[in-house]
């Protein structure tokens, strides 16, 4: 066994990625403060071929050196837009037919392993601030909250780690 070289992995070029069919989900970032986390979201959204990322509130947008450092160029492949208001972004997505799922520990949240995405509607996954989480007014607009099971002493994952877990579970359910 040996590690594959990059050229053996058959990855898409940026232009091919932009033209490729995407999985039916959008990423919404609600006041993410860490530029490293923003870059990680881009990299993970690229890996799981998300439709786009919506950067809301004070979440910074590319181009920015710190975003590029963790995105390693994925900010060039993944479509993104900026919206000053997460609530307005979510309302627009709902009007466009998206199911809105906040990734948050909340009363009545659905454990991620029990989440069954509706095949008729695309999803939007909302991730909140590293300290405060998803804003209450955004949760009020959502169709529900998804919770990732945890078995240790900490009460949460890093927000960009949560993205990888949620995106994989969603895509896994779409391809199986």
> Tens digits of per-residue pLDDT, 39-55?
999 999 999 999 999 99
At residue 126, what are phi and psi to the nearest 5 degrees?
A: -100, 125
> Tens digits of per-residue pLDDT, 78-122?
999 999 999 999 999 999 999 999 999 999 999 999 999 988 999
- List the domain boundaries for the chain: 13-175
Query: C-alpha distances in angstroms, 121 versus 35, 52, 116?
Result: 31, 16, 12
| CATH number of 13-175, picked from 3.40.1280.10, 3.30.70.1400, 3.40.50.2000, 3.40.228.10 | 3.40.1280.10
The model's pTM = 0.96
């Amino acid at each position: 066994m040996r590690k594959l070289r990059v050229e053996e992995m058959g990855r898409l070029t940026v232009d091919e990625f932009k033209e490729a069919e995407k999985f039916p989900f959008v990423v919404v970032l609600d006041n993410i403060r860490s530029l490293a986390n923003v870059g990680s979201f881009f990299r993970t959204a690229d890996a799981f071929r998300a439709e786009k990322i919506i950067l809301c509130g004070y979440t910074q947008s590319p181009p920015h050196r710190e975003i590029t450092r963790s995105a390693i160029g994925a900010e060039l492949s993944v479509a993104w837009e900026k919206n000053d208001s997460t609530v307005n972004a979510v309302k627009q997505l709902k009007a466009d037919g998206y199911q809105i799922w906040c990734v948050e520990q909340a009363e009545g949240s659905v454990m991620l392993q029990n989440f069954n995405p509706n095949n008729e509607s695309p999803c939007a996954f909302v991730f909140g601030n590293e300290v405060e989480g998803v804003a209450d007014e955004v949760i009020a607009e959502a169709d529900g909250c998804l919770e990732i099971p945890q078995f240790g002493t900490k009460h949460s994952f890093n927000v960009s780690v949560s993205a990888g877990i949620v995106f994989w579970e969603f895509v896994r359910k779409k391809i199986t």
